[in-house]
């Protein structure tokens, strides 16, 4: 592969296109700006000069030397903003998550995954994954095709719909818990009693940190953990019998 020449950024067409993409302009708007009939002409112009399309903008086609921070330089989106913030010295991933409106780091990770980015532990930042982005696009395409099916086509989904309807209460409960973004609360019957358990110090550290960060008691955390465990592993009926109404 021919080494990428950074001087290509001085090309007026390259510079203008990247600036318009950073401003959130659509492919159609950029195509019309240059008077082309289609986006293909612009795409080929960039590819001949060592660029590739990463799903949001054009970046140098050098996977081995191009980092997520480089890719995000012209990325005018929340994903690009997160990557740039994490690239700063002494960046705190929890603070970055909260600053961008996410309750947890995992929630931010799910968002980035949906945008085609995966966590790179060596760089301590997110990096673009073409295979993941393609999978996301394929999923979206399949979903749009499903909604465009005729009533006759939907016959294939009757069995699945019947299954989902038979478990709608559990689905609603699960979705409500996921969307709240807060810790679920369980009120158990009975008086309080002491129980001494030995945990690894790493677990105790996580317990203490979570308690302080999200302003919940350690007892509440353990009660929620046990309730979720019983619910997940076939003890839901017994769990419900000891919960307060």
Q: What string of H, E and C letters represents the secondary structure of 151-219?
A: CCHHHHHHHHHHHHHHCHHHHHHHHHHHHHCCCCCCCECCCCCCCCCCCCHHHHHHHHHHHHHHCCCHH
Q: pLDDT at position 156, please?
A: 62
- Of the pLDDT bands very low, low, confident and very high (cuts 50, 70, 90), residue 32 is very high
- Of the pLDDT bands very low, low, confident and very high (cuts 50, 70, 90), residue 82 is confident
pTM of the model: 0.33
Alpha-helix runs per DSSP H in the chain: 12-22, 27-34, 39-47, 68-71, 78-86, 93-99, 105-114, 130-147, 158-166, 168-180, 201-214, 218-232, 236-242
Q: What are the pLDDT digits (tens) for 191-219?
A: 777 777 787 877 777 777 777 777 888 88
Assess contact for 58 and 10: CB atoms under 8 A.
no
Q: pLDDT at position 241, please?
A: 85
The proportion of the chain whose per-residue pLDDT surpasses 90, expressed as a percent, equals 11
């Amino acid at each position: 592969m021919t080494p990428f020449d950074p001087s290509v950024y001085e090309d007026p067409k390259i510079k203008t296109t990247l600036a318009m993409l950073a401003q959130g302009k659509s492919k159609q708007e950029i195509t019309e700006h240059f008077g082309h009939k289609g986006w293909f002409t612009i795409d080929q112009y960039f590819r001949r000069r060592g660029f590739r399309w990463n799903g949001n903008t054009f970046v140098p086609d050098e996977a081995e030397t191009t980092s997520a921070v480089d890719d995000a330089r012209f990325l005018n989106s929340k994903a690009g903003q997160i990557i740039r913030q994490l690239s700063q010295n002494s960046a705190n991933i929890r603070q970055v998550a909260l600053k961008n409106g996410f309750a947890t780091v995992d929630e931010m990770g799910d968002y980035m995954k949906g945008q085609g980015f995966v966590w790179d532990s060596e760089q301590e930042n997110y990096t673009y994954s073409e295979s993941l982005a393609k999978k996301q696009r394929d999923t979206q395409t399949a979903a749009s095709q499903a909604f465009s099916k005729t009533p006759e086509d939907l016959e294939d989904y009757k069995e699945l719909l019947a299954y989902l309807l038979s478990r709608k209460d559990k689905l609603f409960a699960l979705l409500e818990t996921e969307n709240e973004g807060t810790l679920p609360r369980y009120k158990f019957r009975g008086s309080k009693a002491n129980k001494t358990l030995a945990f690894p110090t790493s677990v105790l550290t996580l317990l203490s940190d979570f308690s302080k960060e999200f302003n919940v008691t350690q007892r509440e955390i353990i009660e929620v953990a046990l309730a979720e465990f019983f619910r997940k592993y076939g003890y839901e009926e017994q769990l419900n019998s000891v919960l307060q109404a």
